Structure 1
Amino acid sequence: MKITFTQVALCLFFFFFLSYSASAQQTVKLQGYVRDIKGNPLPGVTISVEHTKLTTSTNNKGYYRLQVGQGKLILHFNFIGFRQSVKTIEISGDTDENVVLTESNSDLQQVEITGRKEKAYKTRATFIGKIENELKDIPQSVSYASKELIADQGLMRVGEVVKNFSGVNQFSFYDDLTIRGFRVNGQSNTQLLNGLRTSTGFWKQSLANYLERVEVLKGPSSALFGNASPGGVVNRVTKKPLDETRRSISMTMGSFNTFRGLADFTGPASKDSTLLYRLNLGYENAETFRDLMFDRNFVIAPSLTFVPSEKTRINFDLVYTDSKSRLDRGQPIFGSFDLNSTPQSLSLNTTNDYLNELTYNATISITHKISDVLSLNASYLKTGYSEDLNEHRTSNSYGVDGNGQPINNLAGMNVQIRKRKRFIDNFSGYINYTPTTGPISHKVVAGYDFGSEKTPVGGSQMTAGGYRNAANNGFIATYVAAKKSDYLLDKGNPVPNVPHFNLNDPLSSQRMQDDSKLFFAQSVVAPAYYYLNSGYIQDQLKIGGLQVLLGVRYEYYTDFANYKTQTEAKANSHAWLPRLGAVYTINSNINFYGSYVEGYNPQTSATISNPNAGGPFDPLKSNMIEFGAKTSWLRDQLSITAAVYQIKQTGALYATPGVIDVLRQIGDEQSRGFELDVVGKIMPNWNVIASYSYNSAKIMESGTVGEIGLQKPNAPKNTANLWTRYNFIDGVAKGFGIALGLNYMDKRNLIYDVKLSPENQITIPSFTLLNAGLFYNIGKLQLQLNANNIGNKKHWVGGYDYLRLFPGQPENYMLTVGYSF
């Protein structure tokens, strides 16, 4: 860990200054008990003081205690399933204040426009189904991580957050995941932001400081969102404004020369609270453990909510990200395929490489309640992405000698210089209708979606690679030994257009290169465009303890190949997508469920977003059967979900070994598994999140015989995760907290290589990581120390092939100082 003396001195000065400020005001003791109307104590009730950051929770006896300033205070008592109680009291000395809470039978809100006030790992409900539903009433598995968990673990990337979810793991360094054995790629327009389809920059994940939570709806979700991965869909939920003032800033320093500053401000923007605001800011300047890699990130995420009446709410969100870095294609290894043959820090970049990305997501949402049972909702999301790239990267093969045999210490290289933009539009308009007909209550969602993605005219790419021709005035993409005379030779070996990367002497290959002497092939990033129109209707009927979900979506997809060129070709496809589910409530703590869903994903030039991918390809089709149980314990403070499932898919695209960017389509794949998720509080001051998954994900049909029967790439059979935090609320240790975490990942296959026999297929070994956190709160100040990969376990989070492995971080430490005011 590289922390300078100056940084430590500034941090300590900051700490003592704020500690003095926090203790300067004379405080008194406020205490009492919180009970229900029957007199039973309520453990875990959140008590907060309005216009301050003072907060606590009740213990197992329903008792709470706060050190507060003298004067007029407005107290908020919040507990899941109970109506909020607001008390205004005048305090001049130690005070007892007892409170009785009544259970809440109010309807859930329809659309997630206002912010979440609770401060806990556990979330009661989600809006991922276009209407707010309690998680226990959704007939599919949903994993999630709240902002409190993300902050406690000191995480800043969604790819890191998903380690807490059963059946979800990283595929690479990029916005690139595996869910239940199936890849979810952030470069395709299949991820969600506030329930709306969008895409990410893919290469570099943005900071997560503007997120309220990250959630994953498992299984094909096409009936709700159109084309999506069969494994599941990732939804990023942004922080929304609150009707109470909260302000916080934090500073993080630590390993890899990391410096990070974050700010979060929210509250009323008008005296009558009809206009609310929220502003999240993030800045990061960090190196990594990888050679030549760095991240310079800036995020600004403002949000406004206008509440002109009790029936109408309007929200505007903007997330703007400016990222400067280098593109990390991973760690290469020698031709012996020994994972330890090169250091994990090794990258193939040079010092003149760069990757500059600008991304914005702007959303406007409106909801209007026409009556007690009918509301209208509409949302529009505009995404813009700009990429400016210069990279030295592997050609996905080793250099060859005059006989065409690989030289295992020389990695073949390419240079790519690319500029391109992408724009995504997404509109969703729908009604929520919740009537009751006799003994049957309904939750009807019916609406229309429009989505489009465009890569406009003006993108360009220059590529240098292959071997120089005999005249030395151009290059040939591949070397063919039988045509040796066609190539420029040196000591009988072909001369590469881009010098090979010497794995025995990486420093000489990583220095700044004179690319002006290379032969480039210039190409236009082909303009691409697609749009979709879809209509859907869904009803969740409830009679007694049984809920039945019936839904169907019709999607009509239009794609333009070679958009705005003389060879433009228009293609259409369509699909009917059913969704069936049932939930049966045994008692207030136990629900059983089952579901059947189908998935569909066109695989065209526009959705792949790679002009070199090949094709045309048939659509990806999938279906899933899932059964499970969702239970709650300890007054709904702890939830446990178990699920078994089978997913079938046909038509997946895989990289072609030894050929850059070109994809190939295979046949059937199947995933079967079991998952267990635990999240919530064991005690009011003891939080926990844990998961386990078993997943057998196999390739059933392929034109490459050796692939059949193999576990799918980057799909571990077993994963297990645990994170638990305990806060001391009494005695000399009051204000301190301690957390421990474990992450286990089973071995994983890389993408199948036709040059290797199945028994020699490259695998990434299993690993177990130990993490920990220490916390200390004094008034408005919080100190936090996170230690990750304690013991420095060598591991890999994912990989494509033997030239593109993605190693995990070595042992590292992060110190955070936060202040709330």
Structure 2
Amino acid sequence: MGAAGAALAQQDATEVETDTVVVSATALKVATPTIETPRAVSEVGRDELDRRAVDKYDETFRYRSGVVSQPYGSDNNADWMFLRGFSAEGSTYQDGLRLFRTGGYFWWMTEPYGLERVELLKGPSSILYGEAPPGGLVNAVSKRPTAEPQGEIELQVGNKGHRQIGIDTSGPVSGRDDMRYRVVGMVREGDGELDGTDMDRYYFAPSLAVDVSEDTTVTFLASVQKDDGVPTTGFFPAYGTVEGTPFGKIDPETNLGQPDYDNLDQRQLSLGYELEHRINDTWEFQQNFRYSNLDLELRSVYPNSYVTPPRSISRGVVDRDGGYDAFTLDNRFIARTYTENTENTLLLGAGYQRLDLDYDNADSFRTLGDGSSYFVNIDTVDMFDPDHRAFSGPETGDPTHHDVEKEQVGVYVQDKFRLNDKWIFLAGARYDSVDSRDVYRDETGRSREGYDDDQVSLTGGVMYLADNGLSPYVSYSESFTPLASTDASGESYEPLEGRQFEVGIKYAPPGFDGYVTVSAFDLEESNTLITSSAGAQRQIGERSSTGIEIEGMGYLTDNLKLTASYTYTDTRVDVSEEQQDEHAPLVPYNMASAWLDYDFAGALHGLSVGGGVRYVGSSANSPDAGETYKVPSYTLYDAVVRYDVNEHWGAQLNVNNLTDEEYVSGCDFYCYYGESRSVIGSLSYRF
């Protein structure tokens, strides 16, 4: 049974997606059907990524529960998601290993074209992954070599200057039955949502699988990516977006940055491998390793959130130059034992992460060695009609140089026990040691910040598998996130600690090709920093999130497939000693979505159509941002038409935001316009 599960997990994502029973290794680090996992898990496979023409990573989970996609609008140089009311900034993984997003702007960017599928584990996940935010974890699974020859060339054109060509070819190495290869390449260019912005991307990802013996396989994975262009600066004041003015509203395409000055040049390189070795009939050893290098040059002018009457706004500048090297390693021993009435899966693991980040910071927002900070305005523009010709290069002073070192070592154990094919019991624990230092130099001299932390994380769960397909469960999980800053006495803060209780039901009716999951959760993060009456930050706050999530997928007929979700989330945060239990910004109470796919038969065989609706309810702005207001709800429609001429040729047309709805996706101190209508036509040749 264990071998069959592992084999199914390695199948092509299209095969997994055709059978709606999903197998995932993200939730337990052991390939397991998600319907038998006592945690809320979602997956988007390759077939759906193609169907919806996903070309930006934060579009992946638009039709899944628990995820706020693009809360800061469509940003061409960052991917943004909120998971169960918490930012996913530190939640991104690929092939089970962490992708570092740190230093404010040194964010690893994930290319959807290079993925087989994307898996989402909701709630705290430190038991298996160490340091992580409490909202959840997103794991991208890279395309891998296939045993059967296959290939595809795809061309795309669309509005907003969208142009893309991709090639994906795979199969056995010529003359060898123990080696398989895959080569994925893509070039894309397109305009951003704001006037004068654009981005080009170049992506290349070769991989090679080698059967060293009947019991040992090594898969080598590599990627090179380059992003170059003018970044979007989608920061707008509430005045002119959600608030009316005598001058009307700010046009969503207005660029309050400086398009002839702003620039992004980001280069990424990754090299790694996955080793699988069967020791005997009981034990298996797995090892994942990756080296990552990111190099960034970013220069971007942005507006302040405060308006100077009647219609002017001041601006600052972000200026980063540097890069990082990262090493990640995960080792796992897996033992599967069986008796007549039991099945036990024991996981023993050890992980290591190291980050070396070196960069210069010449921003308008400056922090001094004594902890104080100040902001330097570089100029002022008319926010309804900015004149970019009057701009002169800003003087930001000598840059602050940062030398960041971060290291994490963890060991963990997890046991999944199955009794009488009815009961599943899960328990696990992990110990982590984290050490981080930031040595920086500014005009006040040399300073050093950092932290050392040891942390124990626990998890547990129980699930019952009923004969009628109903599987109720209850689970508990923990997370921790270290804080790099220090308190007024110079002592390191305690890490943020997350705890979640979750109850749910997973339903896979016999004879029905589909499933429905319902989960309710109570999630709390303690040790949150709040501002005290004395002005210093104290670690006595809390951020909490409670909610209900419903998600389902299945074939209503042989030709009609439905994917639907509903999310209710109530996220609260302590801001200060006076402001407690305030509604958190950017997280709506209610969200709902539904997508239908229909494949025609008979004379129209090869033709398929699909359409979806996404509703996002109203949300609040930051409770400490001054005036309190609500961000209105919005409803968006998407559609697709595809025609497969024969087994080789196919054409597709995708339209997102079909009615070109103008909306604000959310507000905190700033407000952010959502993505406008997107039209993409595709032509593919499969060989």
Q: What is the TM-score with the length of structure 1 in the denominator?
A: 0.75
SS of equivalent to 1:304? strand
Question: In structure 2, what is the Cα distance between the partners aligned to 1:498 and 1:666?
Answer: 36
Determine if contact 2:531/2:577 at 8 Å carries over to the other structure.
no
How far apart are 1:755 and its partner, in Å?
A: 2.7
- 2:43 is the alignment partner of 1:151: no
Residue 718 of structure 1 aligns with which residue? 590
Residue 650 of structure 2 aligns with which residue? 782
Residue 599 of structure 2 aligns with which residue? 727
How far apart are 1:668 and its partner, in Å?
A: 1.2
Gaps of 5+ in 2: 367-372
Question: In structure 2, what is the Cα distance between the partners aligned to 1:448 and 1:272?
Answer: 34
Residue 668 of structure 1 aligns with which residue? 542
Equivalent in 270, 273, 280 of residue 371 of structure 1: 280
Query: What aligned pairs does 1:128-527 form with structure 2 within 5 A after superposition?
Result: 128=26, 129-170=28-69, 171-172=71-72, 173=75, 174-185=78-89, 188=90, 190-200=91-101, 205-333=109-237, 335=239, 338=243, 341-350=249-258, 351-398=260-307, 406-436=308-338, 439-456=341-358, 459-464=359-364, 477=374, 498-506=378-386, 508=387, 510-511=388-389, 513-515=391-393, 518-527=394-403
Question: In structure 2, what is the Cα distance between the partners aligned to 1:417 and 1:788?
Answer: 33
SS of equivalent to 1:603? coil
Question: In structure 1, what is the Cα distance between the partners aligned to 2:107 and 2:163?
Answer: 21
How far apart are 1:665 and its partner, in Å?
A: 6.5
Determine if contact 2:575/2:624 at 8 Å carries over to the other structure.
no
Partner letter of residue 729 of structure 1?
A: A
- 2:631 is the alignment partner of 1:764: yes
SS of equivalent to 1:364? strand
Query: What aligned pairs does 1:671-820 form with structure 2 within 5 A after superposition?
Result: 671-699=545-573, 701-703=574-576, 705-706=578-579, 708-731=580-603, 733-756=604-627, 761-779=628-646, 780-802=648-670, 805-820=671-686
Partner letter of residue 665 of structure 2?
A: V
Summarize deviations over 1:771-816 as a string: whole Å, max 9, x none.
11111111111110112212221123334323xx321222232111
Question: In structure 2, what is the Cα distance between the partners aligned to 1:664 and 1:391?
Answer: 33
Determine if contact 1:634/1:682 at 8 Å carries over to the other structure.
no
Structure (1 or 2) with the larger CA radius of gyration: 1
Determine if contact 1:334/1:341 at 8 Å carries over to the other structure.
no
Determine if contact 2:449/2:484 at 8 Å carries over to the other structure.
no
Summarize deviations over 1:608-659 as a string: whole Å, max 9, x none.
xxxxxx9954311110011111121364621111111110112346999xxx
How far apart are 1:329 and its partner, in Å?
A: 2.7
How far apart are 1:765 and its partner, in Å?
A: 1.4
Change in CA separation of 1:143 and 1:730 when aligned onto 2, cut-off 3 Å: same
Change in CA separation of 1:570 and 1:772 when aligned onto 2, cut-off 3 Å: closer
Partner letter of residue 255 of structure 2?
A: S
Determine if contact 2:100/2:108 at 8 Å carries over to the other structure.
no
How far apart are 1:332 and its partner, in Å?
A: 1.7
Gaps of 5+ in 1: 1-103, 399-405, 467-475, 479-495, 607-613, 657-661
Question: In structure 1, what is the Cα distance between the partners aligned to 2:410 and 2:365?
Answer: 43
Determine if contact 1:114/1:240 at 8 Å carries over to the other structure.
no
Change in CA separation of 1:367 and 1:134 when aligned onto 2, cut-off 3 Å: same
Partner letter of residue 176 of structure 1?
A: W
Partner letter of residue 446 of structure 1?
A: L
Change in CA separation of 1:433 and 1:655 when aligned onto 2, cut-off 3 Å: farther
How far apart are 1:461 and its partner, in Å?
A: 2.4
Question: In structure 2, what is the Cα distance between the partners aligned to 1:767 and 1:569?
Answer: 43
Summarize deviations over 1:291-315 as a string: whole Å, max 9, x none.
1111101111111111133311101
Question: In structure 1, what is the Cα distance between the partners aligned to 2:400 and 2:115?
Answer: 36
Equivalent in 587, 595, 600 of residue 480 of structure 2: 600
Partner letter of residue 630 of structure 1?
A: K
Change in CA separation of 1:729 and 1:110 when aligned onto 2, cut-off 3 Å: closer
Determine if contact 1:774/1:786 at 8 Å carries over to the other structure.
yes
Determine if contact 2:235/2:303 at 8 Å carries over to the other structure.
no
How far apart are 1:504 and its partner, in Å?
A: 3.7
Change in CA separation of 1:125 and 1:344 when aligned onto 2, cut-off 3 Å: same
Question: In structure 1, what is the Cα distance between the partners aligned to 2:154 and 2:390?
Answer: 37
Residue 619 of structure 1 aligns with which residue? 495
Question: In structure 2, what is the Cα distance between the partners aligned to 1:615 and 1:295?
Answer: 43
Question: In structure 2, what is the Cα distance between the partners aligned to 1:414 and 1:566?
Answer: 25
SS of equivalent to 1:344? coil
How far apart are 1:265 and its partner, in Å?
A: 0.7
Partner letter of residue 604 of structure 1?
A: A
Determine if contact 1:335/1:409 at 8 Å carries over to the other structure.
no
Change in CA separation of 1:807 and 1:568 when aligned onto 2, cut-off 3 Å: closer
- 2:402 is the alignment partner of 1:531: no
Equivalent in 433, 437, 442 of residue 556 of structure 1: 433
How far apart are 1:710 and its partner, in Å?
A: 2.6
Question: In structure 1, what is the Cα distance between the partners aligned to 2:215 and 2:446?
Answer: 52
Residue 369 of structure 2 aligns with which residue? none
Residue 453 of structure 2 aligns with which residue? 573
Residue 470 of structure 1 aligns with which residue? none
Summarize deviations over 1:40-71 as a string: whole Å, max 9, x none.
xxxxxxxxxxxxxxxxxxxxxxxxxxxxxxxx
Q: What is the TM-score with the length of structure 2 in the denominator?
A: 0.89
Summarize deviations over 1:412-435 as a string: whole Å, max 9, x none.
111233201122211101100011
Question: In structure 1, what is the Cα distance between the partners aligned to 2:676 and 2:14?
Answer: 36
How far apart are 1:567 and its partner, in Å?
A: 4.6
Question: In structure 2, what is the Cα distance between the partners aligned to 1:644 and 1:637?
Answer: 24
Determine if contact 1:434/1:442 at 8 Å carries over to the other structure.
yes
How far apart are 1:106 and its partner, in Å?
A: 5.7
Partner letter of residue 398 of structure 2?
A: Q
- 2:467 is the alignment partner of 1:628: no
Change in CA separation of 1:123 and 1:653 when aligned onto 2, cut-off 3 Å: farther
Question: In structure 2, what is the Cα distance between the partners aligned to 1:254 and 1:655?
Answer: 48
Change in CA separation of 1:435 and 1:390 when aligned onto 2, cut-off 3 Å: same
How far apart are 1:123 and its partner, in Å?
A: 5.0
Which range moves more in the overlay, 107-116 or 302-311?
Answer: 107-116
What is the alpha-carbon root mean square deviation over aligned residues?
2.8
Summarize deviations over 1:158-189 as a string: whole Å, max 9, x none.
2111211101013323322111111111xx4x
Question: In structure 1, what is the Cα distance between the partners aligned to 2:610 and 2:537?
Answer: 44
Change in CA separation of 1:621 and 1:477 when aligned onto 2, cut-off 3 Å: closer
Query: What aligned pairs does 1:64-79 form with structure 2 within 5 A after superposition?
Result: none
Residue 84 of structure 1 aligns with which residue? none
Partner letter of residue 379 of structure 2?
A: P
Question: In structure 1, what is the Cα distance between the partners aligned to 2:451 and 2:560?
Answer: 56
SS of equivalent to 1:417? strand
Which range moves more in the overlay, 174-183 or 110-119?
Answer: 110-119
SS of equivalent to 2:287? strand
SS of equivalent to 1:224? helix
How far apart are 1:739 and its partner, in Å?
A: 0.4
Question: In structure 2, what is the Cα distance between the partners aligned to 1:615 and 1:810?
Answer: 47
Partner letter of residue 548 of structure 1?
A: F
How far apart are 1:268 and its partner, in Å?
A: 0.7
